[in-house]
Amino acid sequence: MRTRTARWGLSTAVLITAGLALTACGPNDATSAAGSSTTSSSVPSNSAQPSTQPTANSSQGSAHTTPRRISNKPGMRCTDQINYANDKRDNATINSIGTRTGHCPPVLTSDGSGAANTGDYRAIIGKLSYLAPGKLMVKPEGGGMDQAFYISNSTRILGAAAICSNDAGSVAIGSDGYGTAKCTENQLETAAKTGAVTVRVTMNPKNGDVKTVEEKYHP
């Protein structure tokens, strides 16, 4: 009887020891699980960092979509890209700014005396002067910036008397007081060099095309 009791006591001790061993493994496993959980939870924080990059790129992209100045396209004049109809500056000045800076200047909308708008064309009345072969300038009667322009094959030059007339010593004018006689470019340049002839220049500021140069008759 004592032997059986001793055997049961030994078995019980073995079971208790095994139970304690299993219990001791529990905290280690929990610590390992916690460490594994901590490691996995840190992954989203690292992957979240690239999400800030698109925001910076988006900001840069929006800055490029609203340029402050208009770039001058290579091989094109600013006056061919922008309507400078209300700008007092001549085409040569505007285009030179675009060539020099690489950007077309903004339109100056202040009105000047001696000019009138006629659709896409602007008529400027003033004293005629000579600049270079094929290039002349008109000074508005009431003030304002001088307007340089070029003569082309399509430009109609109409004289009253000073530039040319139908017959020597005669006057060729219409009901508006401007010349009607057809003149040559050489005759126009000769008159421009005197600085004493008043003309009405009708031109398209958008492309620099000069439609007519008409002499204003002075008795």
Q: How far apart are CA 92 and CA 88, in angstroms?
A: 12
Q: How far apart are CA 144 and CA 146, in angstroms?
A: 7
How is residue 108 written in tokens?
Answer: 């100056």
| pLDDT greater than 70 at residue 14 | no
pLDDT at site 133 = 92
Band of residue 13 on the pLDDT scale cut at 50, 70, 90: low
Over the range 30-48, which residues count as b (16 or more CB within 10 Å of their CB) and which as e? eeeeeeeeeeeeeeeeeee
Residue pLDDT, tens place only, 188-200: 999 999 999 999 9
* Of residues 123 and 28, more confidently modeled: 123
| pLDDT greater than 60 at residue 146 | yes
pLDDT at site 56 = 40
| pLDDT greater than 70 at residue 162 | yes
**Among 217, 192, 215, 207, CA closest to 122:** 207
| pLDDT greater than 60 at residue 22 | no
Q: What is the mean pLDDT of residues 40-50?
A: 45
Residue pLDDT, tens place only, 77-102: 887 777 777 776 788 888 887 787 77
How is residue 38 written in tokens?
Answer: 């901590």
User: Please, what is the Cα angle at 75 between 139 and 60, to 5 degrees?
Assistant: 105
| Contacts for 134 with CB less than 8 Å, ≥ 6 apart | 150, 151, 185
Q: How far apart are CA 44 and CA 34, in angstroms?
A: 17
pLDDT at site 215 = 97
pLDDT at site 80 = 78
| pLDDT greater than 90 at residue 181 | yes
Q: What is the mean pLDDT of residues 33-44?
A: 45
Q: What is the mean pLDDT of residues 139-160?
A: 90
Q: How far apart are CA 151 and CA 169, in angstroms?
A: 26
pTM attached to this predicted model: 0.47
Over the range 106-127, which residues count as b (16 or more CB within 10 Å of their CB) and which as e? eeeeeebebbeeeeebbbbbbb
Band of residue 161 on the pLDDT scale cut at 50, 70, 90: very high
